[in-house]
Structure 1
Amino acid sequence: MKLLLVSPGWPKGRLWGELGFKFPSLSLAVIAAATPAHWHVALCDENVEPLDLAADVNLVAITAMTPQAPRAYEIAAAFRARGVSVVMGGFHASNLPDEALNHVHAVVVGEGDLVWPRLIADFERGALQPVYRPGAMLDMADLPVARREIFDRKGYLLTNTIQTTRGCPFDCEFCSVTAFYGRKYRERPVEQVLAELEILRKNNSFAFFVDDNLVANRRYALSLFSAMRGMRFKWLSHAPIDFAKDPELMRAAGEAGCIGMFVGFESLNQEALVAMGKVTNRADAYLEQARAFRDNGIGILGSFVLGCDGDTPAVFEPILRFCEAARIEAAIFPILTPYPGTQVRKRLEEEGRITSNDWRDYDMGHVNFIPRGMTAAELQAGHDWLNSSFYSFSSMYRRIFKLHRSVQVFAPMNFGFRSAIRRTAKFKG
């Protein structure tokens, strides 16, 4: 039996599709690991290679985020027309299973690790069900070790991605993580993580922990970082800005090889932070906290959500000046996006403020709702100006061309974002 795992391409001219550095889908490698050994498993990621719609396969499994959903449905239609069974999972299908079922034979809602063996068994006996939902959350001790060989010769920048925890104790209004993984924070046994890291070290010394909040459980994080000390990894992950309030934990992360964290600043307006549920953020402490990251050798990929109800056209320049003053090594500036399954979508729907359900534009770079403090055109223009200004040569010089160990990652990242933003602008005309 032959299984084809598919990651659909991003719509043309979108920032995430234009980035030159590509990372693989760890979730598909985990699904490959959960597939019985007598199946032949192959991967096609349209972001790095063309998809053969005439491929000789028995089953196609697609994962997609919301902006990839229209392309996922096109792929599904092509295979279904040939009589090939198609199943779909991921964030979009999990939040809109009825929509997805109009295009595929079966939908996996939520974590697929537990239900995938059952789905395969049902398929083999000709009894595929329309919806598969796990009856419980995965015990992280049972997480399969990803089959990363499916990434071979794909041209990815890095295949050393790994997951140690799932879930987030917080429930930010704009975030879809809680809806998918739940608020219960689950940790994988440290010894299992270390064993997988030993495997990864055979490839190279860089790694990316895909956890949404690697440091939510202090005791677990300290145990992991202590065990990693001396492994000589250089790694990145995600952490809240108040990670800086714990000097011991931050020092342990730096000593374990952490050179960068994705950090959600989200806003410089404290009222906006409270409204979006970002309860751990104190805007008046941002400068000091960013300095604590840098002092421990940890660079920051910051995130600032644009278009919250308290935002006006006056918000964009202060964000740029703050980033330069704090020497934020890299940043993204997503437009508030009402993704299916989020609290912000529910609120904006109730208020009649959603203007588009063209999923291709749910890429964090387009306005799909009626803002309160500015027009949609002003929000779009501010977003575009902030991106181009932040990744201008002058801003890059102010922020990253200082002696710091994270520069080895963040300097290429800045040039990569700059090139992608310029290509995106050309596509817009």
Structure 2
Amino acid sequence: MQVNWREITHARNSFAALYAACESEGFELEPVKAPVGDVTCYSLNSLNAPYLREEIAAAPCTTVVGGPHATACPMETAAYADYVVVGEGERTLPRLLHAIEAGEAGGRIPGVATREGGLCPPDHTVFLPAYPPFSQFKGYLEISRGCPFGCAYCQTPRIFGRRMRHRPIDEIARAATAFRDARFVTPNALAYGSDGVHPRLDKVEKLFQALHTNRIYFGTFPSEVRPEFVSEEALDLITTYCANRRLHFGAQSGSDRVLKALRRGHTVADVEQALDLCRDHGILPVVDFIVGLPCDEDEDEAATLSLVREVVRKGKAHVHRFIPLPGTPMAGMEPRPLLPETQRALGQLALAGRITGSWDDPERRFFRNHSDVLS
């Protein structure tokens, strides 16, 4: 049976992980730019899903769709796809492919939704040590999954759960031999080895020591850290072992009232302390903000703009407009229009090269134009 993987921007790391999982079960996912063969697999997020829906519905083959959007909206996705993989795919996708090959996919398969059968809930959580992060097609080093913080706008804890799981250090080090530069995928890099709430910097240091042959980039793209995890000890470890001299973390708002409403689990004071610590250690802070939040009021928006200005005095800020993601508590909420003075101030900061982001068009955060969805 010929199984293909539809090449889609922002799904490359998922492809690397699922290729490795399927390869071990006897299926090789062939990258393609259009649906062909016996089966074509897709991974969709909520921005690219509308552009691929018609293609999937008209595909001349069996279609299997997973990813954040499919997990959040399984029956909506099942209206145009043959099979929908809900949640983590390393075990579910090979199980489904075996059933399709054997002609037995009409039954209820855990973690799979269909138009006729509805959703059969997943029956497992992926045990990371059982699956390599990649094989033939390299991806970033995924070291952790799950997040104990239930931020109201975020899909991560709804897809991967609120209990953190970690890949063992020896397996990370073995996979890292494929790279000169070690870059990681994790919801919070400084939570490695911990429960996600209480840092275990001894585990982080052991990880760094095991990667002694790599240039380590930690707490920067494609991962970040949480502001309350930024400490003297954490920054000492980064400056001692790592090549990056910038640290990426999310503030999201300059209002404690809004942070509480978002269930962020930190305060504005935590952000300000993280900024001071980064500057004291010669680390450039790169800080994310969300504007246009439905729970914002005028004074909250002004407080966020004030914190953005504080960040850019000696750091960088990424400012993005709120996107209501399905499957989250804030799904279906409309972004709040920005005040004219906020629009002007953000524009001036952008022209001066002090901030980046997409506070007018949220799609620019993910792709420059619609053709990027399909590349």
Q: Normalized against structure 1, the TM-score is what?
A: 0.70
CA distance in 2, matches of 1:296, 1:192: 31
Structure number with higher relative contact order (C-alpha < 8 Å, ≥ 6 residues apart):
1
Which amino acid is 1:5 matched to?
W
Query: 1:361-382 CA distances to partner (integer Å, 9 max, x unpaired)?
Result: xxxxxxx34x3xxxx3x36x67
CA distance in 2, matches of 1:24, 1:261: 24
Match of 1:339 in 2: 325
Query: 1:369-428 CA distances to partner (integer Å, 9 max, x unpaired)?
Result: 4x3xxxx3x36x6776565434323537xxxxxxxxxxxxx9xx9xxxxxx79x979xxx
TM alignment of 1:48-59, pairs within 5 A: 51-53=33-35, 55=36, 57-59=37-39
| SS of residue paired to 2:330 | helix
CA distance in 2, matches of 1:52, 1:109: 22
CA distance in 1, matches of 2:145, 2:353: 39
CA distance in 2, matches of 1:162, 1:383: 38
Which amino acid is 1:195 matched to?
R
| SS of residue paired to 2:129 | helix
Contact 2:56 2:63 in 1 (8 A): yes
Match of 2:79 in 1: 102
Relative to structure 1, is the Cα distance of residues 297 and 33 closer, same or farther in structure 2, using a 3 angstrom cutoff?
farther
Point out where structure 1 has 5 or more consecutive residues left out of the alignment: 10-22, 45-50, 150-158, 355-367, 397-409, 414-419
Greater helix proportion? 1
Relative to structure 1, is the Cα distance of residues 243 and 77 closer, same or farther in structure 2, using a 3 angstrom cutoff?
same
Contact 1:5 1:43 in 2 (8 A): yes
Point out where structure 2 has 5 or more consecutive residues left out of the alignment: 107-111, 114-119, 358-363, 370-375
| SS of residue paired to 1:272 | helix
Contact 1:7 1:64 in 2 (8 A): no
Contact 1:229 1:257 in 2 (8 A): no
Tell me how far 1:174 sits from its aligned partner: 1.2
Aligned residues: 336
Which amino acid is 1:135 matched to?
D
Tell me how far 1:300 sits from its aligned partner: 3.3
Which amino acid is 1:35 matched to?
C
Query: 1:42-72 CA distances to partner (integer Å, 9 max, x unpaired)?
Result: 224xxxxxx345x4x2111110110111123
**Greater mean deviation of Cα atoms: 66-75 or 102-111:** 66-75
Tell me how far 1:119 sits from its aligned partner: 0.8
TM alignment of 1:345-360, pairs within 5 A: 345=331, 354=333
Contact 2:305 2:342 in 1 (8 A): no
Match of 2:125 in 1: 137
| SS of residue paired to 1:169 | coil
Relative to structure 1, is the Cα distance of residues 77 and 229 closer, same or farther in structure 2, using a 3 angstrom cutoff?
same
Match of 2:46 in 1: 66
TM alignment of 1:5-404, pairs within 5 A: 5-8=5-8, 25-36=12-23, 38-44=26-32, 51-53=33-35, 55=36, 57-79=37-59, 82=60, 84-129=61-106, 131=113, 133-149=121-137, 161-201=140-180, 205=181, 207-216=182-191, 217=194, 218-219=199-200, 220-229=203-212, 231-235=214-218, 236=220, 237-244=223-230, 246-257=231-242, 259=244, 260-279=246-265, 281-308=266-293, 309-312=295-298, 314-315=302-303, 317-325=305-313, 327-329=314-316, 331-345=317-331, 354=333, 368-369=334-335, 371=336, 376=337, 378=338, 385=344, 388-393=347-352, 395=354
Q: Percent identity?
A: 22
Relative to structure 1, is the Cα distance of residues 311 and 209 closer, same or farther in structure 2, using a 3 angstrom cutoff?
farther
CA distance in 2, matches of 1:384, 1:4: 44
Which amino acid is 1:102 matched to?
A
Which amino acid is 2:263 matched to?
G
Which amino acid is 1:127 matched to?
E
Which amino acid is 2:274 matched to?
Q
Contact 2:6 2:34 in 1 (8 A): no
